[in-house]
Amino acid sequence: MEDFLRDKYPEIYAGDGIKWNFSKFLIDRDGHVNGRFESTTEPFEIDSVIESLL
C-alpha cells in the first residue's frame, strides 16, 4: 500500500491524512483517540498499546 501511494499519489502519501479506509484507531474508555495506525500496521504490532488500554 505504501509503495502504491508513494508512486501513484505522492501528494496523498506526503500528508498526515487518512490514506486508506482501513486505518486503525485506538479509542480509550473516555472516547479519546489514543493511537492511530496506518492500514499497513498489523494488529500484533500494536499489542502493547492495546494492552495498556485494557
Averages of pLDDT over runs of 10 residues in the chain (54 residues) are 73 65 86 87 90 88
In a domain, 3, yes or no: no
Question: What's the pLDDT at 41?
Answer: 86
Question: What's the pLDDT at 13?
Answer: 65
Question: What's the pLDDT at 53?
Answer: 87
In a domain, 15, yes or no: no
Q: Residue 13 and residue 48: Cα distance in Å, rounded?
A: 27
Q: Residue 18 and residue 32: Cα distance in Å, rounded?
A: 17
Q: Residue 31 and residue 28: Cα distance in Å, rounded?
A: 5
Question: What's the pLDDT at 1?
Answer: 64
In a domain, 39, yes or no: yes
Question: What's the pLDDT at 14?
Answer: 67
5-13, long-range: CB < 8 A, 24+ apart = none
- Terminal Cα-to-Cα distance of the chain (whole angstroms): 30
> Residue 26 sits in which domain range?
21-54
pTM summary value:
0.56
